[in-house]
């Protein structure tokens, strides 16, 4: 496996994965359409998508994937109600909307007129083979690469975009629960996984957290628990109720972060981000992966999932402190998270 990545690797060619707050050329979204993903609440999911598109459109183009004319018509109506602008439609069919996980991850090299971009097409196995029908979305990156004229590299390694977060300066964060799970890249040791991440994404250091939150069917994606908000600043989810099953694993992650340092050996500033009270499915009662950490940073705004709870305001204040030059936009996500993801899960940035 270690020799399977084409040489010279992206890292050897000078590529790196930019931080999410670095300048975007646009953002990919895939319009929601599956009633099995959003049982009884597809219309509410569409409204959340439209509000998200409006927030992103304050500072960049939204590239919206719609597979049919009927789907495009529904999207246009919802976007108009939300006042969304700067939306371009692409007739690209998708099985589902989790473009963060099956879409290409774009790395960059050089500066100014010499800046180059490369679309990395990692293997997508629908979160460890849980949803075989959704594995058909593994073909979407090639369509997007062609639309944007991006050179591409197929990477023989299973990886979802929501399982990693980076500061753009050589440090990457992930969880052992996800990337060391036997349902992703069986047989690989931690150091072998780190090799793939370093060589593909141009990072120098991989930091490991433990477990994610309950209700998360992705096996502990880091974008539900801990996010970089600056080169040396992180926010991490904290469950204050000691009776909640998320309390102990999130406390352990917080402890680990306080002992960590970046790729240059400098400690992090770690800010606590409260967890919302548990959100349960209106369809079947299961616990849903509701988290304020699943926010998305675009050129002019930060779209933040909120749940109609007292903790919403506290989370928004933390993130306003982290992004003082951006507009923090709360978006109600009680029904969007019925699909087992929120705002970060349905976006994928296109670096400038």
Q: Which of 96, 201, 107, 93 is nearest to 144 (CA)?
A: 93
Integer angstrom CA distances of residue 237 from 222, 260, 263, 298: 10, 16, 23, 21
**3-class DSSP assignment, residue 14:** coil
Does 322 participate in catalysis according to the annotation? no
Rounded CA separation 317/314 (Å): 5
Q: Which of 1, 20, 217, 245 is nearest to 123 (CA)?
A: 1
**3-class DSSP assignment, residue 72:** helix
Tokens of 306: 């909120």
DSSP state of 230: E
Q: How many C-alpha atoms does 306 have within 13 Å on its Cβ side?
A: 21
CB 56 within 8 A of CB 301: yes
Q: Is 151 exposed, middle or buried (0-12, 13-18, 19+ CB in 10 A)?
A: exposed
Tokens of 73: 């018509």
Tokens of 107: 């790395």
Question: Hey, how many other C-beta atoms are within 10 angstroms of the C-beta on 274?
Answer: 19
Q: Which of 5, 87, 76, 74 is nearest to 43 (CA)?
A: 74
Question: In residues, how long is the chain?
Answer: 352
Which of 41, 178, 333, 345 is catalytic? The answer is: 345
The residues annotated with a catalytic role in the active site are 345
């Amino acid at each position: 496996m270690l020799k399977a990545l084409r040489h010279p690797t992206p890292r050897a060619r000078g590529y790196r994965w930019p931080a999410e707050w670095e300048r975007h050329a646009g953002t990919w979204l895939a319009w929601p359409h599956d009633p099995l993903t959003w049982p009884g609440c597809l219309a509410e999911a569409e409204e959340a998508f439209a509000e998200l598109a409006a927030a992103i459109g304050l500072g960049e183009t939204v590239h919206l994937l719609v597979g049919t004319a009927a789907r495009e018509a529904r999207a246009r109506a919802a976007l108009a109600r939300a006042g969304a602008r700067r939306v371009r439609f692409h007739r690209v069919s998708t099985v589902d909307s989790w473009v963060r996980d099956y879409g290409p991850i774009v790395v960059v090299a050089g500066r100014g007129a010499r800046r180059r971009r490369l679309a990395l097409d990692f293997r997508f196995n629908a979160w460890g083979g849980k949803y075989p029908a959704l594995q058909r979305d593994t073909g979407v990156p090639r369509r997007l690469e062609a639309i944007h004229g991006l050179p591409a590299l197929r990477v023989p390694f299973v990886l979802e975009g929501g399982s990693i977060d980076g500061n753009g300066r050589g440090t990457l964060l992930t969880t052992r629960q996800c990337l060391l799970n036997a349902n992703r890249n069986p047989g690989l040791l931690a150091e072998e996984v780190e090799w793939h991440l370093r060589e593909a994404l141009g990072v120098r250091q991989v930091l490991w957290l433990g477990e994610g939150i309950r209700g998360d069917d992705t096996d502990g994606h880091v974008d539900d628990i801990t996010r970089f908000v600056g080169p040396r600043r992180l926010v991490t989810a904290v469950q204050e109720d000691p009776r909640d099953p998320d309390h102990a694993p999130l406390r352990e992650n917080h402890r680990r972060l306080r002992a960590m340092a970046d790729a240059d050996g400098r400690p992090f500033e770690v800010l606590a981000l409260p967890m919302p009270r548990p959100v349960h499915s209106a369809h079947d009662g299961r616990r849903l992966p509701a988290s304020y950490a699943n926010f998305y940073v675009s050129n002019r705004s930060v779209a933040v999932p909120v749940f109609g709870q007292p903790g919403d305001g506290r989370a928004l204040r933390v993130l306003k402190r982290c992004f003082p030059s951006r507009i923090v936009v709360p978006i109600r996500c009680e029904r969007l998270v019925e699909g087992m993801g929120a705002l970060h899960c349905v976006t994928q940035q296109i670096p400038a």
